[in-house]
């Protein structure tokens, strides 16, 4: 009768377990380092990127064909911003939309924009503000 070794009966020996633990530890360290780098990159771009933000200060319907929207935009001094404004009627149907390009070399831009409408607008709102595409 031949002797059966415990490693043959129960699987791998203690050396194989130590090797697997080492490989898992290395993989965890690499993944942890990548996660820290990714979070750092996201934080850096969020803080240093030229952010553009805007808000509607006031709006008023001038006529059945026009809405005046007072817009305030914060941006970097050298940044060109594009903001999309719209007007809606009583039933929340969009009756006017306009893209406004702001190229002033100021960090805060206050402007009044007239949006042409197809019917009397009840609201004037900011849809989006962002950096203008280059080109």
Q: Are residues 60 and 77 in the same domain?
A: yes
Residues comprising the chain, all counted: 135
Let me know whether 44 and 57 are in one domain: no
Count of domains forming the chain: 2
Spatial CA neighbour of 88 closest among 113, 59, 112, 111? 59
Any domain includes 106: yes
73 shares a domain with 29: no
Position 21 in a domain: yes
Q: Do 33 and 60 have their domain in common?
A: no
Q: Which two tokens stand for residue 98?
A: 């306009």
Q: Are residues 62 and 111 in the same domain?
A: yes
Between CA 49 and CA 4 the distance in angstroms is 67
Domain around 82:
53-131
Strand-pairing partners, residue 105, are none
In 3D, which of 128, 131, 126 has the Cα closest to residue 76?
Answer: 131
pLDDT for position 48: 65
Same domain, 61 and 43: no
Please report the pLDDT score of residue 21 as a whole number.
85
Q: What pLDDT digit, counting tens, does each position of 75-125 carry?
A: 888 889 999 999 999 999 999 999 999 999 888 999 999 999 999 999 999
pTM for the complete prediction?
0.63
Specify whether 22 is located in the same domain as 69: no
Distance of CA 32 to the CA centre of its chain: 25
Together in a domain, 31 and 59: no
| Residues 35 and 67 placed together within one structural domain of the fold | no
* 72 and 112 fall within a common domain: yes
Per-residue model confidence (pLDDT) at position 6: 61
Whether 1 maps to a domain, the answer reads no
Which residue, among 127, 132, 126, has the nearest Cα to 55 in the 3D structure? 126
């Amino acid at each position: 009768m031949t002797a059966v070794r415990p490693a043959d009966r129960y699987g791998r020996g203690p050396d194989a377990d130590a090797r697997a633990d080492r490989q898992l530890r290395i993989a965890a360290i690499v993944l942890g380092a990548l996660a820290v780098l990714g979070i750092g990159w996201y934080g850096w771009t969020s803080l240093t990127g030229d952010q553009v933000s805007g808000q509607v200060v006031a709006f008023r319907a001038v006529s059945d064909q026009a809405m005046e929207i007072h817009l305030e935009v914060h941006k970097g001094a050298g940044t060109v911003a594009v903001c999309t404004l719209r007007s809606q009627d009583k039933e929340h149907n969009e009756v006017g939309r306009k893209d406004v390009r702001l190229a002033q070399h100021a960090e805060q831009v206050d402007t009044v924009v007239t949006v042409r409408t197809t019917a009397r607008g009840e609201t004037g709102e900011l849809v989006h503000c962002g950096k203008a595409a280059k080109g």
